[in-house]
Amino acid sequence: MIRAIFGGTFDPIHNGHLETAAALVQELTISTLSLMPSALPPHRPQPIASAKQRLEMVDLACQQNTAFNAEDWELKQDRRSYTANTLSEFKTRYPNDTLLFVMGMDSLMSLHRWHQWQQLIEHAHLVVMPRAGVSFAPQDQELEDFISGHLTEVKDKLSQRTSGLLYVAQTPMIDVSATELRQQLQHRESNLPLPTNVYDYIKEHQLYL
């Protein structure tokens, strides 16, 4: 079966994550897509919501799609969460499944700054979702070589191997970012691009004010 892991800060989770992930489930016939909040993202400013709150929001958001589940593996670790370690753990847990690690185009463009980034693809395929305002233009030569060395445009090839390929999905561009959303929440704007139950949780816990 095809199993996907979509990691992120999810501070908070929003429709940019959820609508693209739902389209990806359809495009690649994914059985389970695990949304996995990261504990202490090493290369990002620290989140505003606590780890527990980010996980609870992800859990609420998962109610909208039976293929989604909230994965707490990185939050349960008491050391820095590096994706390479996480994927190695999942490969051990599900040796016979095709594993996809999902990211947005902005993450791919900065992948060469991740810890042990070239090893990620030994444990999983990398699946990249287009993102509004971010073009496919690697600035680093090693990253460009890595991408061209692993890129496939044939999605059926993903299920024929368990890891090693990079695929750019045809998911829709949903122009939402958590940074912008936090600003909108701070300004108490309404009709924001996130699930109602997540919005209610944010209000109840007075987050991002």
Q: Which positions touch ligand ATP (CB under 6 A)?
A: 8-10, 16-17, 20, 103-104, 106-107, 129, 131, 174, 176-179
Smallest distance, Å, CB 106 to ligand ATP?
5
Smallest distance, Å, CB 92 to ligand ATP?
23
Give 66 or 179: the residue with its C-beta nearer to ligand ATP: 179
Give 81 or 92: the residue with its C-beta nearer to ligand ATP: 81
Residues facing 5 on adjacent strands: 34, 101
Residue nearest to ligand ATP (CB): 104
Give 84 or 174: the residue with its C-beta nearer to ligand ATP: 174
Cα gap 140→108, rounded to integer Å = 11
Cα gap 10→21, rounded to integer Å = 13
Give 41 or 163: the residue with its C-beta nearer to ligand ATP: 41
CA angle 8, 42, 40 (to 5 degrees): 65
Question: Would you list the DSSP string of 49-104?
Answer: S-HHHHHHHHHHHGGG-TTEEE--HHHH-SS---HHHHHHHHHHH-TTSEEEEEEE
Smallest distance, Å, CB 87 to ligand ATP?
14
